[in-house]
Amino acid sequence: MEATVIQGTGTGANVSLRYSLVLPIYNEEQVLPRLVERIRLLIHQLDGETEAIFVDDGSRDGSVRYLRCVVAAEPRFRLIELSRNFGHQIAITAGMDAAQGDAVIVMDADLQDPPEVVLDLVAKWKEGFEIVYARRVKREGESLFKRFTASLFYRLLEKMTTVDIPRDVGDFRLVGAKALRTFRQMPEQDRFVRGMFGWMGFKQAAVPFERPARALGQTKYPFWKMVHLAAHAIVSFSERPLRLALWGGLAISALAVAFGAFAIYAWAFETGVVAGWTSTVMIVSLLCGINLFMTGVVGMYVGSIHAEVKRRPLYVIDRLTGFDRAMPAVPV
């Protein structure tokens, strides 16, 4: 692990700075006590006033009960309880909407995004970068399969979109006030948060870190959920699949015309041509397959438009705790 330099000078070094930590939580009861302890430590190391916003994304275990107790006793903690499981990306959005800091830091709750790295993110932000993301240079405790599919996904996404979405970067990042304001102006339902930050531009920088294994508990991203995230990322940041449908369809039609011409030629000039059952079946099934695939691609975009036109709120809040307290250093 990279040396973690503690840059904060503790209490009151710079009262004008305010930080917000956003932590999405979904069934993390096992890791919460350790997380809370690490967050407290981090708050002491940061050189400004810090709030930690826990966003409960419809957990079914004891996470909420535990968080309510902790948040009630700690003036720097806040809790947003969503009415059900809305998904990681929406939970992040809810936390960012509520954040009051000059810099907002989003991090996973399972300690795979080590709190000490936040100090490095802050240092880079102070150099003048609006968005500072943490880049995974090494991933521990994740299966070869997960690392392979993740790397494949990032590379595919890079090829398919014109938006600059950095490789090997998750949602662990710091964003400044301007980026936060822009983010809040982006109402899209199909939210792939790292893509949205890539899209908005600004001066961006990366801080490398070694991603440790999940501290406790199980991943909340099973395979199908990863596929879902990947498909939505591509649909919301690339029109290539639609164009692929166009060009693919054209190319296949051209082939079909050529083949038809050949068939007519064979019928007219060759003798003993037997109608080929195999080739017919192959061509028909190939065309059916491609047709269905392309329909599916179009369907995904239509679905995305459908979600967008309904204009539903992105999330529903069931209960807020701790938001009535102003950030400690800020006069109300």
Give 142's strand partners. Answer: none
Query: Least separation, in Å, of the C-beta of 231 and Mg ion?
Result: 20
Query: Least separation, in Å, of the C-beta of 114 and ligand UDP?
Result: 13
Tokens for 206? 């990366």
**168 lies in the binding site for ligand UDP (CB under 6 A):** no
Partner whose footprint covers residue 139, from Mg ion, ligand UDP, none (CB < 5 to 8 Å by kind): none
Stretch that binds ligand UDP, among 108-116, 156-164, 230-238, 280-288 (CB under 6 A): 108-116
**191 lies in the binding site for ligand UDP (CB under 6 A):** no
Give 54's strand partners. Answer: 23, 79
Note the maximum CA span of the chain: 95
Contact 171, 121 (CB under 8 A): no
Question: Cα–Cα distance between 77 and 321 in angstroms, integer?
Answer: 9
**93 lies in the binding site for ligand UDP (CB under 6 A):** no
**4 lies in the binding site for ligand UDP (CB under 6 A):** no
**51 lies in the binding site for ligand UDP (CB under 6 A):** no
Query: Least separation, in Å, of the C-beta of 27 and ligand UDP?
Result: 7
As a 3-state breakdown, the chain gives helix, strand, coil percent values, each rounded to 5, of 45, 15, 35
Q: Which is nearer to ligand UDP, 45 or 89 (CB)?
A: 89
Q: Which residues bind Mg ion (CB under 5 A)?
A: 108, 110, 112, 214
Site string for ligand UDP, 112-131 (x = CB under 6 A): x-------------------
Query: Least separation, in Å, of the C-beta of 9 and ligand UDP?
Result: 29
By CB under 6 A, the residues from 232 to 271 that bind ligand UDP are none
Q: Return the residue matching tokens 């967008």.
A: 308
The residues, any chain, with a CB within 8 Å of residue 59's CB and separated by 6 or more, are: 25, 26, 27, 28, 29
Residue 278 main-chain phi, psi, to 5 deg: -60, -50
**87 lies in the binding site for ligand UDP (CB under 6 A):** yes
Pick from 19, 26, 77, 209 the residue near ligand UDP by CB under 6 A.
26
Q: What is the dihedral of CA 139, 145, 148, 150, to 10 degrees?
A: -70
Stretch that binds ligand UDP, among 107-115, 123-131, 192-200, 321-329 (CB under 6 A): 107-115
Q: Is 215 helix (H, G, I), strand (E, B) or coil?
A: coil
Partner whose footprint covers residue 168, from ligand UDP, Mg ion, none (CB < 5 to 8 Å by kind): none
Q: Which is nearer to ligand UDP, 112 or 189 (CB)?
A: 112
Question: Cα–Cα distance between 105 and 174 in angstroms, integer?
Answer: 4
Element (H, E) at 77: strand 77-82
Q: Which is nearer to Mg ion, 107 or 122 (CB)?
A: 107
**29 lies in the binding site for ligand UDP (CB under 6 A):** no
**104 lies in the binding site for ligand UDP (CB under 6 A):** no
Tokens for 272? 């003993």
